[in-house]
Structure 1
Amino acid sequence: MLNTFWKYLEFEKRYSRHTLASYQNDINQFVRFLESQYQVHNLLKAEHRHIRAWIVALMQEQINPKSINRKIISLRTFYKFAISREGIKQNPTQKIKALKTSKELPQFVQEKEMDNLLSIIEFADDFEGSRDALIMELLYGTGIRLSELLGLKYSDFNMQAKTIRVLGKGNKERIIPFHNKILSRLNSYISHKNKTFSGNGNIALIVSNNGNEAYPMMINRITKKYLNQVTTISKTSPHILRHTFATHLLNKGADLNAVKDLLGHSSLAATQVYTHNSLDKLKKVFDQAHPKA
């Protein structure tokens, strides 16, 4: 049953490897809980009380509420699949409610700090340096997700139109414009890549030092390495550059719907979180400039 579900997520829902791994981890964790605590060895035999007990156990372990909610979503998706494919009549997740979570504003890198990173810091004039520079430019200059970066191919770039074709969540395609600095970084990287890995058949755009496909941990290390040189924010993941991209656009007066489309959000609500950061800046401008403030 689980193997069929994994294939459904991978081939029908077109989930990324990272998302698929998260679902597998969540559900396998619940399977182990069922077996150890209730000697239930079949997911289809799980009851509402079992799931509720698992959530309580996770809370006692002080697991982040957002992580617990993700695990709940994983189970809900599985049981909805089981109802449609296996014909089970009751969904044990039906009365399970998501935990309340505090609304944290997304962290982002200040504009001056990003200018320092991309203008002052010198990237080595070799394969590794040109690759790292391109990664930082792409993440900040287009706001793409980590999974989208890893899925890029050279053929996704339209050099004349200066656009990138990106395959996002749910296999949805979108077109994102890019600026001249990215074009320059891309040309430099491709030149170094071809010299370093002559005849390499890997079609992935971003590759590791040995020519294999890049992987999430590698990109995380690269963003941490360079962001730590210019900022003191606690989070230095690739996603921070996505937050930075959106916040800086809105600070410069970009239309919220346009930012939504650039980010590939399915609803405006997901994009509106960035308006809080922009609103803080507007309030400061108002306090400093308005004669009655």
Structure 2
Amino acid sequence: MTRWWLLAGIQLNDYSKWLKSNGKSDDTIISYNQVAMQFQKWFLQRIGKETFKGKYVSALDLQEWKSFLIDEATYVRGKKATPKKYSIRSVITFIKAIKCYFEYLQEIGEIKSNPAIKIKPPKMQMDDDDDPRWLERIERTRLLNYINDEELKDKNHWRYSRNRAIIFLGLHAGLRRSEIVHFEVEDIYFEKDYVFVRDGKGANSRRVPMNTDLRKALTEWLEQRGEQESSNVFISQKGGPITRHTLNKMCTTIGKKIKLNNFGPHVLRHTFGHDLAVKGTRLEHIADLMGHSNVNFTRVYTRSSMKERSNVIESLSEERAD
């Protein structure tokens, strides 16, 4: 008996190439493949077949899958973690991904019409659980104190300067994880005070000005890095480009040491967007700096977090200590 996921893997190799040719980032390709495999598994279990064919899927099936994601589906992060329901933001991403998958199936001739074309994403609820995670002021201070610690520099100057440059590239330039991984030496323009981001989602290249902290961090790292065969700015100690796994592991390690929950490269990027919004930067400018194709994606940074809202409301209390 041929296992369904082996067939799915073969089919999705071509899908990955199609996504790449359409300008999708590595992270998006991985995410969209996972959604396609999850949908295939759900659908095959539902109809009792072993081989997935796009022609079997109707618009009604996709509507039921959407309902399943909203009402029943759960995920687990970590071996001992409690299952959690997907946020509306995640479901919206899933719907976007599956629309793309069926567009691909139509383009290669596996289906005549796209059953996903009329599937509408659920409306976004103003739920704090859907807020992107950014660093609160005290967390930001804790992180900066850690990455500026001279003791870390004395222990391993090479790793210290590399990790510090990565943190500042996320915190002060808002690069995505995949953009940091693929960031190249020629993308740094010291003479013009900006970094060129070439590998954004949808191939939206952009220029982000360098502030003083980022310039100093990149300068120090490049001195430690020295001449290398790899054109990537960030490398491992063996000389090869760092991977997404390395980047995640670095952030996880730092998060545990200074007690930052759910800390990762995306948190640095969200902090960049939130900090710009707090300083009164126009939405259009934030969208340009972050590589958003639609300014509506940027509006989330104008919202306050639940903690910020609670602090404001508490300040109105008549019984607070003066």
Cross-structure match for 1:18: 27
Instruction: For 2:52 and 2:254, locate their aligned partners in 1 and report how far apart those are by CA, in whole Å.
Output: 47
Counterpart of 2:153, as a letter, is A
Task: Provide closer, same or farther for how the CA distance between residues 36 and 114 of structure 1 changes in structure 2, counting only shifts above 3 A.
Answer: closer
- The aligned residue for residue 108 of structure 1 is 134
Structure 1 position 133, deviation (Å): 0.8
Corresponding residue for 2:106? 83
The yes-or-no answer on 1:47 pairing with 2:73 is no
Following the alignment from structure 2 to structure 1, what is the Cα–Cα distance between the partners of residues 142 and 241? 29
1:291 alignment counterpart? none
Q: 2:193 is aligned with what amino acid?
A: K
Evaluate the alpha carbon distance shift between residue 131 and residue 49 of structure 1 in structure 2; reply closer, same or farther with a 3 A threshold: same
| Deviation sequence 1:54-97 (CA, Å, 0-9, x none) | 44555434341443433332221122233344284332224433
Residue correspondence of structure 1 range 194-213 to structure 2 within 5 A: 194=226, 200-213=228-241
CA contact (8 A) 1:111 1:248 kept: no
Alpha-carbon separation, structure 2, partners of 1:162 and 1:50: 52
Q: How does 1:78-227 map to 2 (within 5 A)?
A: 78-86=101-109, 88-103=111-126, 104-119=130-145, 120-122=148-150, 123-125=152-154, 126-167=157-198, 168-194=200-226, 200-227=228-255
1:237 aligns with 2:249: no
Distance apart, 1:227 and its partner CA: 4.2
Q: Distance in 1 between matches of 2:43 and 2:65?
A: 8
Report the more deviating stretch, 2-11 or 139-148: 2-11
- Mapped to 2, the partners of 1:191 and 1:99 lie a distance apart of 49
Cα separation, 1, equivalents of 2:39 and 2:165: 40
8 Å CA contact 2:234–2:242 kept in 1: the answer is: yes
> Cα RMSD (Å) of the superposition?
2.9
Unaligned runs of 5+ in 2: 1-10, 75-84, 317-322
Q: Distance in 2 between matches of 1:105 and 1:55?
A: 21
Contact 1:164 1:176 in 2 (8 A): yes
- Measure, in 1, the Cα distance between the counterparts of 2:139 and 2:41: 46
Tell me, in whole angstroms, the C-alpha distance in 1 between the residues paired with 2:34 and 2:168. 32
2:72 match? 60
- Normalised by the size of structure 1, how large is the TM-score? 0.82
Identical-pair percentage: 24
Change beyond 3 A, Cα 1:143–1:88: same
State whether residues 15 and 170 of structure 1, in contact with CA within 8 Å, keep that contact through their aligned partners in structure 2: yes
1:216-259 Cα deviation digits (max 9, x unpaired): 22212222333455565x32111111121122222223233222
> How many angstroms apart in 2 are the aligned matches of 1:236 and 1:107?
9
Contact 2:55 2:110 in 1 (8 A): no
**8 Å Cα contact 1:250/1:278 also seen in 2:** no
Higher mean C-alpha deviation, range 215-224 or range 59-68: 59-68
User: What is the Cα deviation at residue 171 of structure 1?
Assistant: 1.0
Q: Distance in 2 between matches of 1:26 and 1:278?
A: 29
Distance 1:106 1:85 in 2: 36
Q: TM-score, normalised by structure 2?
A: 0.75
Question: In the alignment, is the contact (CA less than 8 A) between 2:28 and 2:201 conserved in 1?
Answer: no
Question: 1:69 and 1:253, CA in 2 relative to 1: closer, same or farther beyond 3 A?
Answer: closer
Q: Deviations over 1:93-114 (max 9, x none)?
A: 2443323554333332234543
* Aligned-pair CA distance for 1:278: 8.8
Q: Is the 8 A contact 2:54 2:111 kept in 1?
A: no
